[in-house]
Amino acid sequence: MLTIAISKGRILKDALPLLAEAGIEPSEDLGKTRKLIVSSKKGDVNLVIIRATDVPTFVEYGAADVGISGKDVLVEHNSDSLYEMLDLQLAKCRLMTAVIKGCELPAGKIRVATKYVSLARQYFAKKGRQVEIIKLYGSMELAPIVGLADCIVDLVDTGSTLEANNMEPQDLIMQISSRLVVNKASMKMKHEEIKELVKQLQVAVDKRC
Ligand code: AMP
């Protein structure tokens, strides 16, 4: 039995067809059920549906053998206790800085609103800019509009969320996609099952590229 941790939303929507190609189909409609653990049709896999930021934690502690997580979340989580096995090439986007349209960042210390506290701190440290990081859990785009921050660090896909809030992307910090991560102990104890899953997912990913 394998347990796979995955988050609702963009990653789940993109990952389900890929998992299906690897022979893993949930036994119920994940869009409708309120269950947090859902078995697969073949019965050899359970899916646990959790918050995106919790996926690396579940995998690290062995509550899930395998997880599907955005590179943004993995880098921010910063753990060497799990293996990153595969770039699934899903939920692709960019981690960027963004400002109100036409606005230059002021000289000196700037305020940055983000949920990616470590990533943002590292990025601005490399650029030699002094920053005060303001941790937010959502609606980052609001921060510069209401004067809470000079800029934000957030994921950008089509750019329409920034556009709708009169903001524009500035610097690219990192290209993001979803990765398959594996618990280190599971890798030893369930080697054959995990090897087979990785192989099948690799085939499914290659078919799309
Ligand atoms: P967009 O308007 O298409 O640029 O999407 C930006 C919004 O969607 C922001 O609120 C992002 O945090 C979120 N977003 C974009 N891509 C992803 C992704 N791959 N995973 C999670 N959230 C994302």
Distance 201 CA to ligand 1 centre (A): 24
The pTM is what? 0.96
Distance 158 CA to ligand 1 centre (A): 8
Continuous H helices in 22-102: 55-60, 71-77
Q: Is the pLDDT of residue 209 over 90?
A: no
Helix (H) or strand (E) holding 164: helix 160-164
For residue 124, give both structure tokens: 């601005």
Q: What is the pLDDT of residue 31?
A: 86
Compute the distance between CA of residue 8 and CA of residue 31 in angstroms, rounded to an integer.
9
Domains with residue ranges and CATH for the chain: 2-91+177-208 (3.40.190.10), 93-175 (3.40.190.10)
CA distances, 188 to each of 16, 74, 183, 184 (Å): 26, 22, 9, 7
The mean of the pLDDT values for the chain is 97
Q: Work out the average pLDDT over 15-27.
A: 97
Q: Which atom of ligand 1 is nearest to the CA of 11?
A: 20
Q: Is ligand 1 within 6 A of the CB of residue 154?
A: yes
Q: Could you tell me how many residues make up the chain?
A: 209
At residue 40 the predicted structure's pLDDT band, cuts being 50, 70 and 90, is very high
What strand order describes the sheet that includes 82-87? 37-39, 45-50, 2-7, 66-70, 178-183, 82-87
Q: Please tell me the predicted confidence (pLDDT) of residue 59.
A: 98
- Say yes or no: CB of residue 67 within 6 Å of ligand 1: no
How much is the average pLDDT of 39-46?
A: 95
Atom 5, ligand 1: residue with shortest CA distance: 157
* pLDDT tens digits, one per residue of 171-208: 999 999 999 999 999 999 999 999 999 999 999 999 99
Q: How far, in Å, are 106, 131, 179, 182, 198 from residue 187 at the CA level? A: 49, 40, 16, 7, 11
User: Which residue minimizes the CA distance to atom 21 of ligand 1?
Assistant: 10
The Å distance, Cα 44 to ligand 1 centre, comes to 32
Nearest Cα residue to atom 9 of ligand 1:
155
Q: Is 167 in the pocket of ligand 1 (CB under 6 A)?
A: no
| Closest of 163, 168, 166, 135 to residue 149, by C-alpha | 135
